Structure 1
Amino acid sequence: MSALFTPLKLGSITISNRLGMSALTRNRSTETVPNDIMQKYYVRRAAGGAGLIVSEGTLIAPQGTEWPQAPGIWDKSQISGWKKITDAVHDAGSKIYCQIWHLGRLSHPDAPQQISAGVPVYGPSAISARGGKFRSIPGSSGYVTPTEIQDPAVLIAQFKEAAINAKEAGFDGVELHGANGYVVHQFLDSTANQRTDKWGGSVENRARFALEVLKALVEVWGPDVALKLSPAGGYNDMGMSLQDTIDTFGYLLREANKLGLSYVAFVRYSAFLDPEYDGKKRGTPHDVIGTFSPFLSDTPLFVNCGVTPEEAEQLVSSGAAAGVFMGMNWIAHPDVGRRVEAGKLLDNVPDYAHLYGAEGVDPALGYVDYKGAAY
């Protein structure tokens, strides 16, 4: 694993190795405020050899999320809670980005945070996503038809404010969540965005929102801005034809490559994350790395989704990727980096029953109770 465990300069920082921990929703904050058990969780993974940690999806404004204990970063209490975590992660020898996140049409108007926000559920167009399961709302409530946001600049300003807050909270950078059917992805996808103004229609117009958000983040963070994309995925009712996918994401990446980003992370196609609607998978399976890496001549590329340690070493040593992110392995193994470097197996079994916690259950279960390997 000699290539995987070499340092890498990303933006203004240097990470100690190329094995990162991807954003993982865990549903353990106190309402929307990061807390002590979250600090313990992140610190164990920093000490466990993560070259770079990306925080769980962090809401930029109150939204009716499916995850009622998802953290936010729009007020001082949240900034303070995150600051304790980022300081502790740095003390443990790692770096940490904040993944900033807006759900767009995947919110629900009856969720407490959406009610407190006093705004409707916004999407690029008044087109609802299929599916949805809102754990905090009684019954089988699913996604609703969103209100078309009249001025997307409102959301861009929220992303920029979140970036400012993330800097105050001590993060090393921000990762824009542009994957998995959330608001940035919704603007990109022609099945969710059918606007006729400058924010929809053509490839250039559908990519405008993502690029304008990235530019706003760069104004705050300079080179310490990253982007996560899932061009092949069908999660949350996404998916275009292959040619539209290539045209759209190719244009976006060609323009993003000019912005001096710290990295772009690609989520590869996963059948597990591709739901069926009317008997058909929603995504567009293809080789996202081979297809889109040529657009990133000046931007480091990270690979995410189902990467094994052996494949990670091959991707980095061959130059196909600057680094990799793992997700589920970091849930069940707080010491993935140290295990892989020492040649230990990743053989803990995730506690799926407590992956996202449960009301009335000790939040430590399936969260901070995994054992590390003995060296």
Structure 2
Amino acid sequence: MPNRRTVFAFTPTCTQFCAGMSALTRNRSSKSVPNEIMKQYHDQRAAGGAGLIVTEGTLITRQGKITDSVHTTGSKIYSQIWHLGRASHPEAPEQIEAGVPVYAPSAISARGGKFRHIDGTPGYVTPTEIADPTVLIAQFKQAAINAKEAGFDGVEFHGANGYLVHQFLDSTSNKRTDKWGGSVENRARFALETLKALTEVYGSDVVIKLSPAGGYNDMGMPLQETLDTFGYLLREINKLGLSYVTLVRYNPWLDPEYDGLSAKKRGIPHDAAESYSPFLADTPLFVNGSVAPAEAEELVSTGKAAGIFIGVNWITHPDLGKRIWVGKELDNAPDYTTLYGAPGVDPALGYTDYKEAVY
């Protein structure tokens, strides 16, 4: 039998069998405030073997204690802090409550745009260029301070999937001519300066999630420019002493067709672990993105990754860690009609109603 402990005993704080649970944007909050059903959801998965939980994205400008409850199982919990940038919409509830425009590095809209709380497919709007990005850096830092006060063990800086940080990094969404745009060094500045601000709050208990292959939310540069941009970024990140870096692999599901044409996909398929691990000599590299248990074992045992984060399988299997540990089948299929909830629908559906195995 494979040494499954090599897959699960990987978190910076884990001293026993554990499995990492990726952030999944599983928003069931009440006007951005966590509630009891969210506590139940996280409790289920902590008890099911999630040694380190990274929460759904926590908005830094629209801001129950779930953290204490998770800690009772011996698990750790990081808050994923994010800003949607141009991927928001003026009619989104959180945007209305914030009372500010949709901000982004440049006034360039993304193609696509379907929103859970807005009827139809209104499309993304042309954002307002943020005049002073240091204002956003300060907001991220304050979000980390808030997370620490709420009992989180650390924060994950969301730099993936076409949201604000990714928009600064990508030359197709960042056309600035000041120190925040243009060269690779300038486009990486926002991510690096924010990470430094976060470490002032949490020390080494800071991580970043990146998706170099792009695709989602209309992101993607030519391959060589992608390699140059993320190579530079990760070489500089390696100097900061973070807990780890998570790289999201290319996934066709996160690379939609635009205008009904596959030729208009934006993703740049390439092996993230192989391409970028040389830049992270002193920082553990974790892999995320449709990693099955057997492949996770291979990636860790061969040294290609320090650890694995699992996403969708944690949604449908609250006891995922236990199942993999004892070899139980993963037999709960996701119901995509309830996966992320909808107005007027019981929030438990597709959230806390998946069944555990019989042991």
TM-score range, shorter chain: over 0.9
Q: Are 1:344 and 2:328 an aligned pair? A: yes
- The AA in structure 2 aligned to 1:26 is R
Separation of aligned partners in 2, 1:110 and 1:371 = 36
1:297 maps to a residue whose letter is: A
Distance in 1 (CA, whole Å) between partners of 2:252 and 2:225 is: 20
1:96 to 56, 74, 77: 77
Match of 1:308 in 2: 292
Q: CA deviation at 1:9?
A: 5.6
Q: Which 10-residue stretch deviates more, 216-225 or 343-352?
A: 343-352
Q: Distance in 2 between matches of 1:48 and 1:9?
A: 16
Q: 1:19 aligns to what?
A: 19
Change in Cα spacing, 1:257 to 1:85, as seen in structure 2 (3 Å) is same
d(CA) in 2 for partners of 1:312 and 1:34? Answer: 32
- Shift in Å at residue 120 of structure 1? 1.0
Paired AA for residue 255 in structure 2: D
Ranges in structure 1 where 5+ consecutive residues have no aligned partner: 63-73, 75-80
Please give the alpha-carbon distance, in whole angstroms, between the structure 2 residues aligned to 1:15 and 1:162.
28
CA distance in 2, matches of 1:298, 1:190: 28
The TM-score with structure 2 as length reference comes to: 0.96
Measure the CA separation in 2 of the matches of 1:198 and 1:97.
31
Q: Structure 2: how far apart are the matches of 1:102 and 1:210?
A: 12
Cα shift at 1:116: 2.7
Identity %, equivalent residues: 72
What are the within-5 Å matches in structure 2 for residues 44-83 of structure 1?
44-62=44-62, 74=63, 81=64
User: Alignment partner for residue 230 of structure 2, among 249, 258, 275?
Assistant: 249
1:321 aligns with 2:321: no
Cα distance in 2, alignment partners of residues 9 and 147 from structure 1: 39
CA contact (8 A) 2:112 2:123 kept: yes
Which residue of structure 2 lines up, in the alignment, with residue 373 of structure 1? 357
Task: Give 1:103 shift.
Answer: 0.3
Q: Distance in 1 between matches of 2:59 and 2:185?
A: 27
Local SS of the residue matching 2:278: helix
Contact 1:15 1:94 in 2 (8 A): no
Cα 1:192–1:18 shift into 2, 3 Å: farther
**C-alpha distance in structure 2 between counterparts of 1:229 and 1:48, whole Å:** 27
Q: Is this contact kept in 2: 1:55–1:97, CA < 8 A?
A: yes
Deviation at 1:18, TM superposition (A): 5.9
Displacement after TM superposition at 1:138 (Å): 4.1
Question: Following the alignment from structure 2 to structure 1, what is the Cα–Cα distance between the partners of residues 18 and 273?
Answer: 17
User: What is the rounded CA distance, in whole Å, between the counterparts of 1:29 and 1:189 in structure 2?
Assistant: 31
Does the CA-based 8 Å contact 1:312-1:324 persist in structure 2?
yes
Q: CA RMSD in A?
A: 1.3
Alpha-carbon separation, structure 2, partners of 1:237 and 1:353: 24
Q: Post-superposition shift, 1:51?
A: 1.9
TM-score norm. by structure 1 comes to: 0.92
Match of 1:238 among 219, 226, 233: 219
- Deviation, 1:87, is 0.7
Shift of 1:276: 1.5
> How far apart are 1:27 and its partner, in Å?
2.4
Compute the displacement of 1:140 (Å).
Answer: 3.1
Shift of 1:364: 0.9
Q: Which letter does structure 1 place at the counterpart of 2:207?
A: A
Contact 1:233 1:268 in 2 (8 A): no
CA distance in 2, matches of 1:223, 1:37: 31
Give 3-state SS (helix, strand or coil) of 1:294's partner: helix
Deviation per residue, 1:216-247 (Å, 9 max, x gap): 00000000000000000210000000000000
CA apart distance, 1:49: 0.5
Within 5 Å, give how 1:102-141 maps onto structure 2.
102-141=83-122
Which residue of the partner structure matches residue 269 of structure 1?
Answer: 250
SS at 1:325's partner residue? strand
Contact 2:109 2:125 in 1 (8 A): yes
What letter matches 1:215 in structure 2?
K
Paired residue secondary structure (1:4): helix
How far, CA to CA, are the matches of 1:32 and 1:140 in structure 2? Answer: 23
Which has the larger displacement, 101-110 or 332-341? 101-110
Give me the whole-angstrom Cα distance separating, in 2, the residues matched to 1:317 and 1:19.
Answer: 15
- In structure 1, C-alpha distance between the alignment counterparts of 2:312 and 2:32, rounded to whole Å: 23
Distance 1:174 1:37 in 2: 22
2:358 aligned counterpart, secondary structure: coil
CA distance in 2 between partners of 1:5 and 1:139 (Å): 42
Structure 2 counterpart SS, 1:180: coil
In structure 1, what is the Cα distance between the partners aligned to 2:333 and 2:120?
Answer: 31
Structure 1 position 142, deviation (Å): 1.4
Q: Following the alignment from structure 1 to structure 2, what is the Cα–Cα distance between the partners of residues 6 and 109?
A: 41
5+ unaligned residues in a row in structure 2: which ranges? none
1:169/1:213 CA distance change after superposition, 3 Å: same
Note if contact 2:7-2:308 (Cα within 8 Å) is conserved in structure 1: no
Once the two structures are overlaid, the 10-residue window that deviates more, 318-327 or 215-224, is 318-327
